[in-house]
Amino acid sequence: MFTQSKEFTKESTHDVLVIGLLKNKELDAGGAALDQLIHNQLTELKKKQLLSSDKGELRSFYTFNQAQTPTIYTIGLGDKKDLDAEVIRELVGKVGKKLKEDRVGHAAVSLDAFVTDEISLQEVAFLFGEGLELGTYEVVDYKDKSNKPDKKVEAVTFYTESNEQVVASAEEGKAYGEGTNYARTLVNTPANLLTPTDLAEEALKLSQRYDFKLEVLEEEDMKRLGMGALLAVTAGSDQPAKMIILTYQGTDKWENAIGLVGKGMTFDAGGVSLKPAAGMHEMKMDMGGAGAVLGAMETIGQLKPAVNVVAVIPSAENMINGSALKPGDVVRTMTGKTIEIRNTDAEGRLILADGVAYARQLGVDYLVDVATLTGAVIVALGDYTTGAISNNDSWMQKVNEASEAAGEWIWRLPNHKPYKKMLQTSNVADLNNSPGRAGGSITAGLFIGEFVENTPWVHLDIAGTAWQDKPTINGPAGATGVMARTLTKLVTSHAK
């Protein structure tokens, strides 16, 4: 898909050439070459302020047969001192949307204007590979497609004066984008088309594509292993639960393994503690944690880092029938700990209790769980930042660094002892699954922490960040695929 060239000429044949404009700076080599071909019209348009270098200002115009590339996009980069990875991601996302709207097949980008002292040429190429993939993503719908031709960017040529190779970096960025888009597609899929069984089928496809080891535990296996929390949640549904395990071994010896555990609640009606009808249709997104983990595994399969990873996805529906879990019930987890159910809509922490416990049993040395867990995290952090809980400062720092590199914000919440004591307020069981509204996202995370023991662990609550009601720079409304890139960055940074 990606190629690299040194010089843009009259014979350079693309549908579009993208040029970045910095404030108070000359055109880069690609822009200057084009300007010469079209008789300095770029310079004239800049003088007349018909082209803007203000950050995010996107303009397009034609070359009128002065070059084989008929269309030019200019994107304002603003002041060079303000240009960072986050800004470039936004700008590339905007370019990607425009390419999608114009149904461009072959684009070219003059890269040098995007490079700064802090952002290398390879990093810029990575961001373009990632951002073009994210920015051109479309939500799959089920409408009549007869009048909607499908076209996407199939080829990108990078122009740069440097001899440094950038294609590999762009391909790596594209892999990150593809993993995120895969997560988005899973989360956007209607719940009748993505049951726990269907989610297991998706894991099977990944295992076949990348030679992962796959294991799927059925309900009989869960009974044998004592996974009473997961079985209690699934009791209200006609769809059988699945415990999905994908294993990637990137080193000769099995050591320093990372466990990625994703909440796979393919639909959440709340159970007997029924959710309000308004907005319930969006609860197909309650498997956003599973989507993030499978999205990360998609990218890991492409990059093949020298590290060992186990993905564990407890998957079920939270529905209502005569066998459904009830408030006041007591369930026993695979660790032997008992839980009093105060709220059946606090089900994600139940299936994750058995999920993280099983991941530990598989021999992981580090754990991260990802879940659309609580509405409380939205109250605390809005829909821009993911909440985090951890039992290990150094592991938390590594997850922080991965999230910063991925451009996905997280914020660590406190785990002081009084919060933990709130979980121990049942008179009939070891734990209370819903001790109240106060500190709700903290106690929910710490509930999962009761089952990780001493394993370094980070919990990521993506209830606010997994879904956006409005389009963003990097994609349409709906699923965001959040944390797929953070998990991948974490894994690749852990590689030998």
pLDDT in tens, 243-276: 999 999 999 999 999 999 999 999 999 999 999 9
Ligand-binding annotation for 286, yes or no, is: yes
Closest CA to 394 of 277, 264, 490: 490
Do residues 156 and 203 share a domain?
no
In a domain, 169, yes or no: no
Do residues 144 and 203 share a domain?
no
Sequence letter at residue 481: G
- CATH number (domain holding residue 155): 3.40.220.10
In a domain, 172, yes or no: no
Burial of 322: CB neighbours in 10 Å, binned 0-12, 13-18, 19+: exposed
pLDDT of residue 149: 55
pLDDT of residue 48: 85
pLDDT of residue 496: 67
In a domain, 93, yes or no: yes
Is residue 172 over pLDDT 90?
yes
In a domain, 287, yes or no: yes
Give the C-alpha separation, 131 to 110, whole Å: 15
Give the C-alpha separation, 453 to 225, whole Å: 18
In a domain, 173, yes or no: no
Do residues 238 and 119 share a domain?
no
Q: Quick one: angle between helices 167-188 and 288-303, nearest 10?
A: 150
Is residue 151 over pLDDT 80?
no
Q: What pLDDT, in 10s, does the model give residues 276-324?
A: 999 999 999 999 999 999 999 999 999 999 999 999 999 999 999 999 9
Do residues 191 and 141 share a domain?
no
In a domain, 168, yes or no: no
Do residues 213 and 280 share a domain?
yes
**Domain ranges, residue 407:** 178-493
pTM of the model: 0.96
- CATH number (domain holding residue 421): 3.40.630.10
pLDDT of residue 51: 87
In a domain, 184, yes or no: yes
Give the 3-state secondary structure of residue 339: strand
Q: What pLDDT, in 10s, does the model give residues 129-144?
A: 999 999 999 998 888 7
Q: pLDDT category, 146, cuts 50, 70, 90?
A: low
Which one is catalytic: 275, 326, 337, 420? 275
How many domains does one find in the chain?
A: 2
Ligand-binding annotation for 263, yes or no, is: yes
Is residue 70 over pLDDT 60?
yes
In a domain, 80, yes or no: yes
For the question of residue 349 being annotated catalytic, the response is: yes
Q: What pLDDT, in 10s, does the model give residues 189-202?
A: 999 999 999 999 99
Do residues 468 and 422 share a domain?
yes
Is residue 477 over pLDDT 90?
yes
Do residues 111 and 187 share a domain?
no
User: What is the mean predicted confidence (pLDDT) over 380-390?
Assistant: 97
Give the C-alpha separation, 207 to 248, whole Å: 9
Do residues 27 and 124 share a domain?
yes
Gyration radius from the chain CA atoms: 24
Starting at the edge strand found earlier in the chain, the sheet holding 431-432 runs: 330-332, 338-340, 431-432
Q: pLDDT category, 489, cuts 50, 70, 90?
A: very high
pLDDT of residue 475: 87
Q: pLDDT category, 92, cuts 50, 70, 90?
A: very high
Sequence letter at residue 404: E
Burial 66-81 (b: 16+ CB within 10 A, else e): ebebebbbbbbbbeee
Do residues 290 and 194 share a domain?
yes
User: What is the mean predicted confidence (pLDDT) over 372-396?
Assistant: 97
Point out the domain boundary residue: 132, 160, 188.
160
Do residues 364 and 458 share a domain?
yes
For the question of residue 284 being annotated catalytic, the response is: no
Ligand-binding annotation for 347, yes or no, is: yes
Q: What pLDDT, in 10s, does the model give residues 26-48?
A: 899 999 998 899 989 888 888 88
pLDDT of residue 148: 58
Is residue 150 over pLDDT 70?
no
pLDDT of residue 406: 97
Burial of 465: CB neighbours in 10 Å, binned 0-12, 13-18, 19+: buried
User: What is the mean predicted confidence (pLDDT) over 325-353?
Assistant: 98
pLDDT of residue 147: 55
pLDDT of residue 49: 83
Which one is catalytic: 349, 398, 485, 489? 349
Point out the domain boundary residue: 160, 190, 209.
160
Do residues 225 and 268 share a domain?
yes
Ligand-binding annotation for 148, yes or no, is: no
User: What is the mean predicted confidence (pLDDT) over 225-239?
Assistant: 98
Which residue has better confidence, 47 or 162? 162
How high is the mean pLDDT of the chain? 95
Point out the domain boundary residue: 107, 134, 160.
160
Do residues 314 and 447 share a domain?
yes
User: What is the mean predicted confidence (pLDDT) over 463-468?
Assistant: 97
